[in-house]
């Protein structure tokens, strides 16, 4: 049973956690969202600087909330890829420094593997194989989870990630950043049938459409055209109906692909990860479709869906228990396949 101190700084959350296998002892997340909101999105340089300001405090707080000292920590882990390079470097440098100082093994973790492990934290009985639908600001992935470290990417997005599409459409509707939670809130009182929007599909060279890949840029453009048309006609924007119609289209599209993938690969368990996993439309459609096909679907709580270090620590613990550790020469990477 490994106790891991883990650090996640791949984007705009400075996060430090202490976990023991699937048990969370502390899970500190210092969000930078307020700082980036004024720019309408994450500014890499601002993110790195803020991680530097906050990281030591987060480490101290994680240790103090867990009521542990360094002797009780077995290893130090950090997200090494993918993400903003400057931001990743802050967390990885801190983790390596602690590993040297306290003579602990270091483990570099892939960010997407962390999101997969968030499901293990919330569902203690969950075991592979299962299908992970990972929908965040940077990713839209269908991953066949076969075992620790053994993954097959079955579906992806050809353009925007699901969360990115929410954020961009929110901007078109003149809503604040990040747009996903706001669109979700507005959609509650909107009519999802008010506007017929196109579900993006990815053509195959051999004809037909890719069954698991998504595309959101056409949908985003369709919303933009609709907004421009309504504005030209001097009509006030029916924001709630637009939000509900957009959300419903994304949720149905993701649900269709996820269910098809699970059935084709004979996987009867689906685990959702990433910030868009919090979306009420996706939860509604995916839960209903899973029930219809006799599949089980798990949605981790919001705090584990969005970026956090507990998920990184949980992945690191599983690897550590199998004797895996990383060399201190392991560098950060902005892009890396899982
Ligand atoms: O997983 P996450 O915290 O960070 C990344 O790794 O990207 O995901 C952030 C994304 C943002 O695009 C945000 O708009 C979206 O998740 N998001 C949502 C909801 N809550 C967060 N999208 C739709 N509905 C939500 N309720
Ligand atoms: Zn993430």
Q: Which fold has domain 3-118+305-321?
A: Nucleotidyltransferase; domain 5 (3.30.420)
Round the average pLDDT of the chain to a whole number and report it.
96
**40 or 303, which is more confident:** 303
d(CA 327, CA 105): 9
Pocket flag, ligand 1, residue 318 (CB < 6 Å): no
Instruction: Evaluate if residue 38 carries a pLDDT over 90.
Output: no
Does residue 36 contact residue 177 with C-beta atoms inside 8 Å?
Answer: yes
Quote the tokens at residue 176: 């604040």
Report the candidate in 152, 111, 149, 102 with the shortest Cα–Cα distance to residue 132.
152
Q: What is the pLDDT of residue 211?
A: 96
Burial readout 13-36 (b: 16 or more C-beta within 10 A, e: otherwise)? bbbbbbbbbbebbbbbbbebeeeb
Dihedral sign for Cα 283, 289, 290, 292, please.
Answer: positive
Q: What ipTM, to 2 d.p.?
A: 0.98
Mean pLDDT within 184-200: 96
122 Cα to the center of ligand 2, angstroms:
17
**pLDDT tens, 229-283?**
999 998 889 999 999 999 999 999 999 999 999 999 999 999 999 999 999 999 9
Q: Whose CA is nearest to atom 23 of ligand 1?
A: 180
Say if residue 42's pLDDT is above 90.
no
Q: What is the CATH number of domain 128-299?
A: 3.30.420.40
Enclosing H/E stretch for 67: none
Higher-pLDDT residue of 235 and 80 is: 80
- Is the per-residue pLDDT at 32 higher than 90? no
> Which pTM value belongs to this model?
0.95
Question: Per-residue pLDDT averaged across 33-42, rounded?
Answer: 86
- % of the chain beyond a pLDDT of 90: 93
Question: Could you give the C-alpha distances from 32 to 13, 87, 181, 267, 307, in angstroms and in order?
Answer: 6, 12, 16, 37, 12
Determine the residue of 82, 135, 141, 163 to mutate for testing ligand 1's pocket, defined as the one with the most ligand atoms within 8 A of the Cβ atom.
Answer: 163
Q: Where are the domains of the chain?
A: 3-118+305-321, 128-299
pLDDT per residue over 15-29, tens digit each?
Answer: 999 999 999 999 999
The pLDDT assigned to 41 comes to 84
Tens of pLDDT along 102-157?
Answer: 999 999 999 999 999 999 999 989 999 999 999 999 999 999 999 999 999 999 99
Mean pLDDT of 217-239: 94
CA-to-CA dists, residue 247 to 14, 17, 25, 83, angstroms? 29, 32, 35, 26
Q: Report whether residue 180 contacts ligand 1, using a CB cutoff of 6 Å.
A: yes
Give pLDDT tens digits for 155-164. Answer: 999 999 999 9
Q: Answer for the pair 139, 161: CB distance below 8 angstroms, yes or no.
A: yes
Question: What pLDDT, on a 0 to 100 scale, did the predictor assign at position 62?
Answer: 98
Is the Cβ atom of 181 under 6 angstroms away from ligand 1?
Answer: yes
* Neighbour tally for 102: CB within 10 Å: 13
Pairing of strands 106-110, 150-155: unpaired
3-118+305-321 and 128-299 have identical folds? yes
* Peptide linkage before 178 cis (omega within 30 of 0): yes
SS3 295: coil
Res. 34: pLDDT tops 90: no
Ligand 1, atom nearest to 161 Cα: 12
Strand order across the 140-147 sheet? 150-155, 140-147, 130-135, 269-273, 296-298
Q: What is the pLDDT of residue 228?
A: 95
Question: Of 37, 166, 281, which is best to mutate to test ligand 1, by the most ligand atoms within 8 angstroms of its C-beta?
Answer: 166
């Amino acid at each position: 049973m490994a106790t891991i101190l883990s650090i996640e700084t791949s984007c705009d959350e400075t996060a430090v956690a202490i976990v023991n296998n699937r048990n969370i002892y502390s899970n500190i997340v210092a969000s930078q969202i307020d700082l980036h909101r004024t720019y309408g999105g994450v500014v890499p340089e601002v993110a790195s600087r803020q991680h530097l300001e906050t990281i030591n405090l987060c480490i101290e707080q994680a240790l103090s909330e867990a009521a542990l000292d360094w002797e009780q920590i077995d290893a130090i882990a950090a997200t090494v890829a993918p993400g903003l390079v400057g931001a990743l470097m802050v967390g990885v440098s801190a983790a390596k420094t602690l590993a040297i100082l306290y003579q602990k093994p270091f483990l570099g973790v892939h960010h997407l593997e962390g999101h997969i492990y968030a499901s293990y934290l919330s569902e203690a009985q969950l075991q592979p194989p299962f299908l992970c639908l990972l929908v965040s600001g940077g990713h839209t992935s269908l991953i066949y989870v076969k075992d620790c470290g053994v993954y097959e990417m079955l579906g992806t997005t050809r353009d925007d990630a699901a969360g990115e599409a929410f954020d961009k459409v929110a901007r078109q509707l003149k809503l604040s950043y990040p747009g996903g939670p706001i669109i979700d809130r507005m959609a509650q009182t909107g009519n999802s049938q008010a506007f017929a929007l196109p579900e993006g599909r990815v053509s195959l060279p051999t004809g037909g459409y890719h069954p698991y890949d998504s595309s959101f840029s056409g949908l985003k453009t369709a919303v933009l055209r609709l907004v421009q048309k309504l504005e030209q006609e001097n009509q006030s924007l029916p924001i709630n109906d637009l939000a509900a119609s957009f959300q419903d289209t994304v949720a149905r599209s993701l649900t269709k692909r996820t269910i098809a993938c699970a059935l084709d690969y004979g996987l009867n368990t689906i685990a959702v990860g990433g910030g868009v996993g919090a979306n009420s439309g996706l939860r509604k459609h995916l839960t209903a479709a899973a029930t219809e096909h006799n599949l089980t679907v798990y949605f981790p709580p919001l705090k584990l869906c969005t970026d956090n270090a507990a998920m990184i620590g949980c992945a690191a613990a599983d690897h550590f228990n199998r004797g895996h550790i990383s060399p201190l020469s392991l560098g950060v990477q902005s892009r890396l396949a899982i």
